[in-house]
Amino acid sequence: MTHQLQGTATATLPRRSLTDVLPQLSTPGVRLAGYAAALATVLIWSCYFLSLRYGALSALGTFELTLFRFAVPGLILLPWFIRRRHSILAVHPVWLAGILVGAGLPFFLLSAHAMGLAPVVQGSTLIPGTAPLFVTALAVVIFRQPLTLARFAGLGSVVMGILLMLAATGLDMSGAVFQGQMMFLVCSLCWALFTLSVRQSGLAPLETAAVLTVPSGALLLLWGLVSGTGIDLGTVPASEWLLQLAVQGLAVGLGAGFLYGYAIRALGAEITSAIGSLTPVCATVLAAVFLHESVELITLLGLSLVTLGVIAASGLIRSR
């Protein structure tokens, strides 16, 4: 009789559709920690893009950089991946694929190639700056989420600010630079897919980081064995590749991976991606303070518009 009742109860439970939005169950304290995690992620990304922008580690090859980005944190998170494999495999394959494609090897290799065609400063502006637009568009079209007036106005302000910041760098709508800019936009779309997939997967932050790095790191090592591609660090000063190892593998791979996943669980995909668009603002400020880079008036106006847009789109004022 008990088994019949349990079977009946299980049969009447509603099945969650693939496009049903996973509810946010955050307390005020968790949301506050989510804002802190999102801002810390922005700081890590800004330092990463800043190091690329000034070519401090340009002597390393793409294969070495990719290994640092995925294999190192993947090796560290491998025990956790094995321990949590049942929870990970319970996630719908669509969201697992979205995590792997959106921020894994395809995203990294495409962004690395694009940065060889267009200025890195444009990549650091376009990828995180336009991601909230793609996140909101996908949320509205696919998940039927409402678009409030405040968020619409905030995103519009972000777009205007991004365009002004790009204008300050000197846009070139022809040749290889334009191809790189289009690749940056594709990367931004991939990042939006990753952001929404993390939300829909329901994975914990460390589980998300493990899903992102362990399979990608394993594929890289397998490719290196099959193709005979090796790591050549003999011509690179140890200070350079150790710094890149710390930035790519530990700060971005582990730190930002965990913090971004936590922010999505605490705040939701749209708010987290909106805060992420502060990355070019933070990177510009850091460059001005520590590297004594001059900031033009048009750039300051763009920074102000992006900042105001993020405040409006993130719902921070309403939450407070």
Q: Are 232 and 117 in contact (CB under 8 A)?
A: no
pLDDT at 252 over 50: yes
Write phi, then psi, for 204 (nearest 5 degrees): -70, 160
pLDDT at 145 over 90: no
Q: Are 215 and 70 in contact (CB under 8 A)?
A: no
Residue 287 has a pLDDT of 83
Determine the average pLDDT of the residues in 171-179: 75
The 3 state secondary structure assigned to 50-101 is HHHHCCCCCCCCHHHHHHHHHHHHHHHHHHHHHHCHHHHHCCCHHHHHHHHH
Residue 61 has a pLDDT of 77
Determine the average pLDDT of the residues in 52-72: 76
Determine the average pLDDT of the residues in 21-30: 75
Least confident of 53-62, 67-76, 93-102: 53-62
The CA–CA distances, whole Å, from 198 to 44, 48, 84, 171 equal 19, 22, 16, 33
In the chain, the N- to C-terminal Cα span, in Å, equals 51
249: its two tokens: 């593998």
Residue 11 has a pLDDT of 42
* Of 37 and 150, the one with more pLDDT: 37
Choose among 154, 130, 135, 131: nearest CA to 309: 154
Q: Are 249 and 69 in contact (CB under 8 A)?
A: yes
- Provide the Cα torsion 279, 196, 183, 57; round to 10°: 50
Domain map (residue ranges) of the chain? 27-319
Give 171's pLDDT tier (boundaries 50, 70, 90).
low
To the nearest whole number, what is the mean pLDDT of the chain?
84
Residue 45 has a pLDDT of 94
Q: Are 19 and 92 in contact (CB under 8 A)?
A: no
| pTM of the entire predicted model | 0.86
Determine the average pLDDT of the residues in 194-215: 94
Q: Determine what percent of the chain is predicted with pLDDT higher than 90.
A: 40
pLDDT at 4 over 60: no
Residue 80 has a pLDDT of 95
Q: Is 2 helix (H, G, I), strand (E, B) or coil?
A: helix
Sign of CA dihedral 278, 320, 40, 85: negative
Q: Are 45 and 266 in contact (CB under 8 A)?
A: no
Determine the average pLDDT of the residues in 27-56: 86
Query: What count of other Cβ atoms lies within 10 Å of the Cβ of residue 92?
Result: 14
Q: Are 105 and 70 in contact (CB under 8 A)?
A: yes
